[in-house]
């Protein structure tokens, strides 16, 4: 009876989803069906089956994400829901498979990687004729699992679920997360890699996107790599490469004229991928998001944020912010993200160049900076409430971030404070400066953030070696490589020791004056720019228009690590309430959360908000 009513309303049940699994129909599938770790040659997918879990239960689900599949709230609350969404019960119409791809990891070609813990479930066509690929992450072993178990745990799964949905509602292109299902089964994990493993609960999330094809999908055709001597598992199979190019173009770039036998068609698709990637990283930079693992296998062919691992939203502004503990050289730091994304696009171009002119692809990449700068500057103007373009804006933005760096200001809170600034009616900046000072770290707080890896004496000795062998050029030969040390990490520690020397000599009064002078200097520039913008706009309601733009561009809440950790800690004890409340807050990031959920943190925590 209930199922009949849903059909009449155009909604679906878990048993009546409309599947059309085009990827497995249009791309080559591995002829070997045995689910054992191996090189998968001449195929884009391998058929698999999820490994069932015991005692599945729902931690949290996203109604808005699941509505993409035409699933109503009543379906998400069914008793059978967690079984279906962890792979213990097969979804009718699903055709489970794992995707084969390669990747450049930390700059080196790693050969075959593939979906070691992720499974293609199928492609759902909704009532609006939209096609959504759905995936399980953590549903068991695949031919790409190597020595791993194909499982994910609650800790990492809940982080990915919450951030995926938060990013979507922040307006950042991203994959979606439909559900997070935990089980009573456990796997052993050494969280800190310190020899103290613990048992953690197996967890599966449902991921949703038009496709999960990535840059690394095209690297299965890579010829021998000079640095690693590795090749892709389908090297030389130009026919399959053309199949994948054709599939990608026809399914996801249908507006591009021609077919892939036409060189200009492939170049046009490459240009579109380049532009989408540039727009994506511009969004990351303006919300303070650091991905952490920008390998080519983690780059979407559609310019979406995918594969949330050791990501982090920056708190105290630091252009060298690194959220991945294994990124010792800072390759994927916050400030490096635009250059790394461009590098990844270049690597994708090398695969496209197996069938089209490398020169034409290189010419496309020449416009990267123009595309990125245009989007970045546009987003930054909105964050500062500037309605008109000015040639000096890039310099204004640069000086703002330099001021934030020198005063150690919180990224998100800084823009909220500037949003409240009323320059047009109050020429005195002292009141605003007082607020900005409360958003800065004190001397003692700054010193706690400065944590060098090497002692001052060791750092000096290592730098001496670097200068002797490479003339101080950190971008050249690395004489420390044999010791597993990156030159950039030594240079970073050298700067940290210099900063510590400075702050050890600084009093609280010195620090206060330093921060006050820095903010007064920048705010004076900002005030002049706002006055100019007001005159150019010539709007009677300019103030309201400016603040409205800022309110839509500056989130009140972002997924800070300490907030996520509290939800994880509670969920691991069986209390999912905080995870569910956080999802509701993250779904409205530009609104102040309801009072009963909002707890203003003390001055020492820089006034950011959390949820209790």
> Which positions are catalytic?
297
C-alpha 482/C-alpha 554 separation (Å) is: 45
C-alpha 72/C-alpha 6 separation (Å) is: 8
C-alpha 325/C-alpha 559 separation (Å) is: 19
Which backbone phi and psi does 576 adopt, to 5 degrees? -95, 5
List of residues 6+ apart from 358 with CB closer than 8 A: 349, 350
Q: Is 586 helix (H, G, I), strand (E, B) or coil?
A: helix
Q: Which residue has the tokens 């706002």?
A: 530
Q: Is 307 helix (H, G, I), strand (E, B) or coil?
A: coil
3: nearest Cα among 56, 86, 80, 60 = 80
Token pair, residue 586, equals 């993250």
C-alpha 174/C-alpha 570 separation (Å) is: 27
Centre a 10 Å sphere on the Cβ of residue 196 and count the other Cβ atoms it contains: 8
Please give the C-alpha separations between residue 15 and each of 6, 138, 179, 529, in angstroms, as whole numbers: 12, 22, 17, 58
C-alpha 8/C-alpha 127 separation (Å) is: 12
Q: Is 119 helix (H, G, I), strand (E, B) or coil?
A: strand
Q: Is 206 left (phi over 0), alpha (psi -120 to 50) or beta?
A: beta
The number of residues making up the chain comes to 612
155: nearest Cα among 121, 190, 120 = 190
C-alpha 475/C-alpha 102 separation (Å) is: 26
Whether 54 contacts 185, CB under 8 Å: yes
Q: Which residue has the tokens 């640095």?
A: 227
C-alpha 212/C-alpha 206 separation (Å) is: 13
Token pair, residue 462, equals 């290592």
Whether 589 contacts 557, CB under 8 Å: yes
Token pair, residue 476, equals 């050249």
Please give the C-alpha separations between residue 553 and each of 117, 286, 327, 380, 402, in angstroms, as whole numbers: 35, 9, 30, 9, 21
Question: Which alpha helices (DSSP H) does 59-133 contain, by range?
Answer: 63-66, 73-76, 81-84
Please give the C-alpha separations between residue 242 and each of 91, 205, 221, 264, 520, in angstroms, as whole numbers: 32, 32, 11, 14, 58
């Amino acid at each position: 009876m209930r199922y009949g009513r849903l059909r009449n309303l155009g909604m679906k049940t878990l048993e009546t989803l409309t599947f059309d699994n085009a990827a497995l129909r249009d791309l080559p599938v591995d002829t070997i069906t045995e689910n054992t770790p191996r090189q998968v040659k001449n195929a884009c997918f391998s058929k698999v089956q999820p490994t069932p879990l015991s005692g599945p239960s729902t931690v949290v689900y996203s109604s808005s994400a699941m509505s993409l599949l035409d699933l109503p709230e009543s379906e998400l609350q069914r008793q059978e829901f967690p079984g279906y969404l962890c792979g213990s019960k097969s979804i009718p119409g699903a055709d489970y498979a794992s995707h084969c791809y390669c990747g450049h990891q930390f700059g080196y070609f790693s050969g075959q990687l593939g979906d070691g813990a992720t499974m293609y479930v199928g492609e759902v066509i909704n009532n609006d004729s939209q096609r959504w690929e759905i995936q399980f992450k953590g549903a068991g072993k695949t031919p790409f699992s190597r020595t791993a178990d194909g499982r994910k745990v609650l800790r990492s799964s809940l982080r990915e679920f919450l951030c995926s949905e938060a990013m979507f509602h922040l307006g950042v292109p991203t994959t979606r997360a439909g559900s997070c299902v935990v089980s009573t089964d456990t796997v052993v994990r050494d969280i800190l890699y310190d020899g103290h493993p613990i048992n953690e609960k197996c967890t599966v999330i449902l991921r949703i996107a038009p496709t999960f094809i990535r840059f690394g999908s095209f690297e299965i055709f890579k010829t021998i790599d000079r640095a690693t001597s590795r090749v892709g598992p389908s090297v030389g199979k130009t026919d399959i490469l053309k199949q994948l190019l054709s599939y990608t173009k026809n399914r996801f770039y249908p507006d591009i004229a021609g077919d892939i036998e036409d060189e200009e068609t492939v170049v046009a698709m490459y240009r579109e991928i380049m532009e989408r990637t540039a727009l994506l990283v511009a969004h990351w930079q303006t919300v303070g998001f650091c991905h952490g693992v920008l390998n080519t296998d983690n780059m979407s062919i559609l310019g979406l944020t995918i594969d949330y691992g050791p990501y982090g939203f920056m708190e105290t502004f630091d252009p060298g912010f690194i959220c991945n503990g294994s990124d010792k050289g800072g390759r994927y730091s916050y400030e490096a993200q635009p250059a790394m994304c461009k590098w990844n696009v270049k690597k994708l171009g090398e695969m496209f160049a197996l069938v089209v002119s490398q020169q034409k692809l290189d010419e496309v990449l020449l416009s990267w900076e123009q595309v990125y700068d245009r989007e970045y500057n546009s987003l930054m103007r909105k964050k500062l409430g500037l309605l008109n373009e000015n040639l000096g804006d890039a310099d204004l933005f640069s000086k703002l971030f330099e001021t934030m760096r020198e005063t150690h200001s919180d990224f998100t809170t800084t823009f909220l404070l500037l949003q409240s600034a009323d320059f047009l009616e109050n020429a005195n900046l002292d009141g605003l400066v007082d607020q900005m000072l409360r958003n800065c770290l004190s001397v003692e707080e700054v010193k706690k953030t400065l944590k060098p890896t090497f002692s001052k004496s060791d750092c000096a000795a290592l730098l001496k070696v670097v200068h002797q062998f490479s003339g101080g050029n950190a971008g050249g030969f690395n004489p420390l490589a044999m010791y597993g040390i990156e030159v950039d990490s030594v240079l970073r520690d050298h700067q940290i020791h210099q900063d510590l020397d400075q702050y050890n000599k600084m009093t609280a009064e010195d620090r206060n004056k330093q921060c006050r002078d820095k903010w007064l200097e920048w705010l004076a520039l900002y005030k002049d720019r706002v006055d100019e913008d007001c005159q150019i706009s010539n709007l009677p309601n300019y103030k309201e228009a400016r603040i409205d733009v800022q309110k839509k561009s500056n989130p009140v809440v972002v997924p800070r690590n300490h907030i996520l950790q509290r939800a994880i800690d509670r969920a691991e004890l069986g209390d999912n309430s905080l995870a569910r409340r956080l999802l509701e807050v993250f779904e409205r990031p530009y609104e102040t959360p309801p009072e009963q959920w909002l707890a203003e943190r003390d001055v020492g925590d820089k006034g950011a908000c959390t949820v209790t």
